[in-house]
């Protein structure tokens, strides 16, 4: 539809409107124009516009420093690491085998053999009581003890077998000697040799070479 026709239809016919209606429409027109153009109003008649508070921008949220958290995590990790190492060292670690040092070589130095000492068979005869008469005619006794010694087992065995016979032969020799001869110390070796000869007269499986004076006292 053409714009002119629209305007004609939109514009009311003044002849058809009553006087009151026309005035009412005129007032509404003016009121609408004023609403659309507020700058036409008197400054005193302008409505107060509430003051708008300027909205402040939100404060930036400060990020909390994470340095302390990192240090704490590092400390906890280090403690756990130390604890694990300690458990492994004291519980699971096997002690190394202890290798004994090699023993020093033993040097055996042969010791020279000690000379073998021939075994001696000794026989101590019971005391001989030889009756004597001194120069004053008093009866005295010569108490003599002898030890027969030989390294030969068979000679020793023969002495043991003929002990009574040998004692009689020794007693007979001493009983037939002079008082002064028996008491003279210079005759000790002669008496020893004579007694050995007397004993060897009865030994047939060897020979006796040692006879000792164990005791020789006058009572």
User: For the segment 165-176, what is each residue's pLDDT rounded down to a tens digit?
Assistant: 999 999 999 999
Q: How far is CA 16 from CA 20, 26, 27, 28, in A?
A: 12, 15, 18, 18
Q: What is the largest CA-CA distance in the chain?
A: 224
The structure tokens listed for 209 are 């070479």
Strand partners, 143: 129, 217
What phi and psi values does residue 92 have, to the nearest 5 degrees? -95, -20
Pairing of strands 210-218, 121-124: unpaired
What phi and psi values does residue 130 have, to the nearest 5 degrees? -100, 115
Name the region of 58 (left: φ>0; alpha: ψ -120 to 50; beta: rest): beta
Element (H, E) at 122: strand 121-124
Residue whose C-alpha is closest to residue 174's, from 146, 154, 200, 151: 146
For 98, the 3-state DSSP assignment is: coil
Q: How far is CA 216 from CA 40, 48, 131, in A?
A: 182, 170, 13
Residue-wise pLDDT tens digits, 122-165? 999 999 999 999 888 899 999 999 999 999 999 999 999 999 99
Select the more confidently predicted residue: 214 or 46.
214
Select the more confidently predicted residue: 190 or 93.
190
How many residues are listed for the chain in this entry? 219
What phi and psi values does residue 176 have, to the nearest 5 degrees? -95, 10
Cα angle 151, 156, 160; round to 5: 160
Residue-wise pLDDT tens digits, 87-135? 776 666 665 666 667 777 777 767 777 667 668 899 999 999 999 998 8
For 88, the 3-state DSSP assignment is: helix
Residue-wise pLDDT tens digits, 43-54? 555 555 555 545
Q: How far, in Å, CA of 102 to CA of 82, rounded?
A: 38
pTM value is 0.47
């Amino acid at each position: 539809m053409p714009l002119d026709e629209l305007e004609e239809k939109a514009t009311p016919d003044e002849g058809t409107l009553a006087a009151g209606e026309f005035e009412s429409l005129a007032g509404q027109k003016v009121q609408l124009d004023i609403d659309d153009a507020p700058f036409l109003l008197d400054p005193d008649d302008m409505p107060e516009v509430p003051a708008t508070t300027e909205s402040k921008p939100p404060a930036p949220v400060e990020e909390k420093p994470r340095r302390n958290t990192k240090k704490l995590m590092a400390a906890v990790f280090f403690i756990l690491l130390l604890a694990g190492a300690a458990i492994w060292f004291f519980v699971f670690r096997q002690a190394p085998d202890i290798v004994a040092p090699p023993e020093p070589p033993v040097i055996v130095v042969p010791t020279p053999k000690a000379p073998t000492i021939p075994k001696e068979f000794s026989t101590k005869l019971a005391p001989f009581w030889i009756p004597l008469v001194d120069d004053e005619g008093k009866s005295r006794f010569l108490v003599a003890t002898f030890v027969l010694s030989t390294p030969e087992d068979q000679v020793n065995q023969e002495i043991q077998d003929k002990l009574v016979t040998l004692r009689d032969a020794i007693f007979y020799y001493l009983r037939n000697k002079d008082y002064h001869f028996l008491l003279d110390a210079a005759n000790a070796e002669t008496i020893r040799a004579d007694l050995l000869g007397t004993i060897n007269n009865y030994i047939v499986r060897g020979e006796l070479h040692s006879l000792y004076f164990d005791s020789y006292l006058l009572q």
